[in-house]
Structure 1
Amino acid sequence: MKNAVISAVVGLAALGTANAAIVDQGATTVGGGGGIELVSGGNAILQANGLYSSQTTTPASDWVWTDNGDQTTTWTFTFDLTGFDKSTAVLSGLWGVDNTGTIDLNGTQIANLPVVTTANFTSLISYSTSDSSLFNMGMNVLTFVLSDAGGPEAFRATATVEADTSAIPVPAALPLFLAGLAVVARKRRK
């Protein structure tokens, strides 16, 4: 009986704690379907140019480019924090663009590459935020807005969202029930 009471107490303690988990991951991929998807500004095509960074990423990503010349393109990654504790959410990733761009989380800018430079696409640059005020309890949208200074526009990105699962509240009467079990266990031993 003592072991049963100890197991119940340990189990209840686990109910009140949160557990870290990957909420969602996305990447630019040739042909789409990687989670970071083109929503306006042309068609996404494979970028095979050796000029761009070949850095390994997790999740795996590809350089893609659009066939729209000098126009602006918009890409999005959508994720859902339902069932997670938004105060523990962390968004991180890598990105590169030929030539400039911004990243917004739910309408607030979290990163930018404002100056035309080859460093924007010869290496991937990290971005992240853990500002809980930027996350929504349910659906969230990460938006990449990119501009090119001439020729095809190249883009590559990854996104990973992590958060603790929401703690399951312990019912108010449960501690009293466990205390009663402990008393019964002691009386049985006597």
Structure 2
Amino acid sequence: MTLFARTSIAAAAALFSGLAAAASIGGLVNTGAGQSTGSTDTNYKYTATGNAAGLSGFGVVSNGNADPFPSWLPNTSSSSWLIPGADQNTNYSPTGNSTFTWTLNFDLTGFDASSASFSGHWAADNNGVLLLNGVAISSISGQRGYADWTSFSASSGFLAGVNTLQFVVTDTVDQTYNFTGLRAEFLSSNVNAAVAPAVPEPHTYALMLAGLGALGFIARRRRS
């Protein structure tokens, strides 16, 4: 095949194809990742309703050596439990249930949202529902959501822009011994970069047509 034909075919291929580089999803941060006890995790913001109505703020990294540990899963270098305030022993639900909605945002601007996916696991005291852009993708039921991991994953429902994860945690009423908190770890994530279609120069069209013509000429010669 001549150099002209090869160049023309390459131009045509560049016109009609593109490679989308895969990447992990930025902004999917584990609770308390890399932070010390008592520090504020500004990735996770909460609002409260029910008995604790009116409370809001950012998560505080728990002390893994004090109550409710060792009942809660132990803090690790990968993640830590977040609590609503600096006092780990505060009872937010002595006379009625409280619901804490923990929010984590991540942005897929510049990426192909239809290719996005992630997986992980979470725990909560006491139970809850995990929502991706308002749609439930995992739930924790019972009174011991803090003692074991619950898996979650998503491969659809993503937006081409800012996406929202909401960990809606219910703290059930108890007059005496009562705690609440959230723990989340992302184990994998993937998204492809959005590929903008190339706008070819006029000579690219000429090369493409010439390349297709060269292919037809070669094919005819082989048949004759």
The two structures share one fold, judged by TM-score above 0.5: yes
State the 1:175 CA deviation.
5.5
Query: Paired residue for 1:104?
Result: 131
1:125 matches 2:155: no
Give the TM-score normalised by structure 2. 0.64
Following superposition, the deviation at residue 55 of structure 1 comes to: 7.4
With over 3 angstroms needed to count, the CA separation of the structure-2 counterparts of 1:13 and 1:122, relative to structure 1, is: farther
Match of 1:22 in 2: 24
AA aligned opposite 1:65:
I
Moved over 4 A (4+): 178-183
Q: CA deviation at 1:110?
A: 1.1
Matched letter for residue 190 of structure 2: E
Distance 2:63 2:129 in 1: 21
Aligned AA (2:170): S
- Structure whose alpha-carbon radius of gyration is higher: 2
8 Å Cα contact 2:119-2:154 kept in structure 1: yes
The reply on whether 1:33 has 2:44 as its aligned counterpart is: no
Unpaired segments ≥5 residues, structure 1:
184-190
Residues 161 and 15 (structure 1), Cα distance of their counterparts in 2 relative to 1, 3 Å cut: same
Give per-residue Cα distances to partners, 1:69-89, cap 9 Å, x unaligned: 222111111011111111111
Q: Does 1:137 align with 2:139?
A: no
Q: Give 1:168 deviation, angstroms.
A: 2.9
Q: Structure 1 length as normaliser, TM-score?
A: 0.74
User: Which residue in 2 is equivalent to 1:170?
Assistant: 198
Unaligned residue ranges in structure 2 (runs of 5+): 49-54, 85-89, 214-224
Q: Does 1:12 align with 2:8?
A: no
Given that residues 30 and 184 in structure 2 are in contact (C-alpha distance below 8 angstroms), is that contact kept between their aligned partners in structure 1? yes
| Offset of residue 161 of structure 1 | 4.2
Q: Pairwise CA RMSD of aligned residues?
A: 3.4
CA contact (8 A) 2:7 2:207 kept: no
Identical-pair percentage: 27
Aligned length: 177
Q: Residue 62 of structure 2 aligns with which residue? A: 46
Q: 1:65 to 1:130 in 2, by over 3 A?
A: same
Deviations 1:67-114 (A, max 9, x none): 452221111110111111111110322200111011111111111112
Equivalent runs, 1:66-81 vs 2, <5 Å = 66=84, 67=90, 69-70=92-93, 71-81=98-108
SS of equivalent residue, structure 1 residue 164: strand
Question: For residues 178 and 38 of structure 1, do their structure 2 counterparts lie closer, same or farther at Cα, with a shift above 3 Å needed?
Answer: same
In structure 2, the residue matched to 1:65 is: 83
Q: Which has the higher contact order (CA 8 A, sep 6+)?
A: 1
